[in-house]
Amino acid sequence: MKGFTCKVCSFISINGSAPDKCPVCGAPKTSFEEKADAIKTAKDPKNLSELEKKHIPVIKVVRTCGLIPEGCLDAHVRVGEIQHPMQKEHYILHVDFYVDNEFISRIILTPDRLNPAGALHLKAKSGRLTAVELCNLHGAWIAEVNL
């Protein structure tokens, strides 16, 4: 999948253009490069390979938030149907979140002490939620759900 990748922090713009300023690290537009293969997708979504099962994010939307009772929707993301390893030599660096292709948040992960998962408390009640994870060995992978 095509995207504009920040050479400083690896943020990927998925809305079809490079931003004037990176929303993660603040790098200028000149720090972005367009890549036809910036994000990997399943070759056959109905028949995932083991590599795809370990890398494609799994998104679960929870309509009732336990922390913020009104106006909140939870999004839980786990990297991989088969849990991705989190070892010093092979791990997930971060998960970026987008609503309707616009960046909203990044969760940074470190090996050894964290699991490859994260959650957000969203104000959005509709739209398309996208999660893009970055593996240090196998690149960026994407998943999307409707809110």
- Reported as a single tens digit per residue, the pLDDT across 25-77 is 999 999 999 999 999 999 999 999 999 999 999 999 998 888 998 889 999 99
pLDDT band at residue 93 under the 50/70/90 scheme: very high
Whole-Å CA distances, 13 to 7, 67, 77, 92: 12, 30, 19, 19
CATH for 41-146 (2.60.40.730, 3.40.1390.10, 3.40.50.300, 2.170.130.10): 2.60.40.730
What is the reported pLDDT for 124? 81
7-22 pLDDT, tens digit per residue, is 999 999 999 999 999 9
User: In the chain, which segments carry CATH 2.60.40.730?
Assistant: 41-146
For residue 6, how many other CB atoms are within 10 A of its CB?
A: 23
Whole-prediction pTM:
0.95
109-128: pLDDT as tens digits: 999 999 999 999 999 889 99
pLDDT of residue 88: 96
Please answer whether residues 74 and 38 qualify as being in contact, where contact means their C-beta atoms are separated by less than 8 angstroms: no
Q: In what order do the strands lie in the sheet with 117-122?
A: 57-62, 73-79, 117-122
- Reported as a single tens digit per residue, the pLDDT across 45-56 is 999 999 999 999
Total Cβ atoms within 10 A of residue 88: 9
> For the domain bounded by 1-40, which CATH number is listed?
2.20.28.10
Stretch(es) of the chain classified as CATH 2.20.28.10: 1-40
Q: What is the pLDDT of residue 65?
A: 87
